[in-house]
Amino acid sequence: MILERSNFMNVKQIEEQLTQSNLQNRIPDIKELINIYQLSHSAANEIGTKLENLDDEYSTDYDHNPIHHMEERLKSANSLFGKLKRKGLALTTENVRDHIFDIAGIRVVTNYIDDIYTVEKALSEQSDVTVLKRKDYIENPKESGYRSLHLVVSVPVFQSKGVFDVPVEIQFRTIGMDMWASLEHQLSYKTDADPKKVQQHSANLKHYAKELNDIEIRMQAIFRDLQAK
């Protein structure tokens, strides 16, 4: 299993982003904001390690890795401020702390649908993990056809200053759901394309989401059968 950290900006890079975008003049307590990023970075590492350990355990016990790979990211400063703006909130660190729970994000890509719920359960049951929010877009797909399980959990981070509970957003999805979401995401950025064509592609993608789900359920059944003792 690979934990990709390529998109995972370090806190220094975030600091540079804030400086370059001139936004630092608009935030009264930039040091505090950088500390929030630092905490989020550590929280993502904590959750990433927990997930790796669970994957290792399943691999030993069942000869099966539920997690295919994971990706971690820190929300860029610009998209953080864009989100506050969309929510009609001022650029203050209080608002970031109280309303933004996805500065740290981990995408967990699994082999099968069962793997999502197995890993979710094992993680949620850990005594230092608290589930703050849960949205199951596999049970209830979005209008676009998007499927994934979204969790926001909090985990304690131990710093020299003390211990802080920090939120991390986790998106669980299968390889199939991930492939679908990447293409659909690409389509949503094609703002200069012929609207008719985009509409047709969207309609097709919605249809394919359903087909992929049907295939994944059938492949899951084969896998369950092979695992049965």
The catalytic site residues sit at 169
Q: How far is the CB of 229 from Mg ion (least distance, A)?
A: 39
Is the Cβ–Cβ distance between 218 and 200 less than 8 Å?
no
Q: Which of 26, 142, 190, 207 binds ligand GTP (CB under 6 A)?
A: 142
Q: Cα–Cα distance between 14 and 17 in angstroms, integer?
A: 5
* Site track 65-84 with ligand GTP (rule: CB under 6 A), x = hit: --------------------
| Minimum CB distance to Mg ion smaller for 55 or for 102 | 102
Query: Could you say whether residue 115 binds Mg ion (CB under 5 A)?
Result: no
Residue 174 β-bridge partners: 110
* Structure tokens, 7: 């998109």
Q: How far is the CB of 8 from ligand GTP (least distance, A)?
A: 16
Q: Which of 12, 85, 134, 185 binds ligand GTP (CB under 6 A)?
A: 185
Closest CA to 7 of 85, 69, 54: 69
Query: Could you say whether residue 184 binds ligand GTP (CB under 6 A)?
Result: yes
Query: Could you say whether residue 102 binds Mg ion (CB under 5 A)?
Result: yes
Is the Cβ–Cβ distance between 154 and 168 less than 8 Å?
yes
Is the Cβ–Cβ distance between 119 and 66 less than 8 Å?
yes
E strands along the chain, which residues?
Answer: 2-4, 67-74, 104-110, 130-136, 149-159, 162-174
| Minimum CB distance to ligand GTP smaller for 157 or for 170 | 170
Q: Which residues bind Mg ion (CB under 5 A)?
A: 102
Interface ranges with ligand GTP (CB under 6 A): 102, 135, 142, 144, 146, 150, 181, 184-185
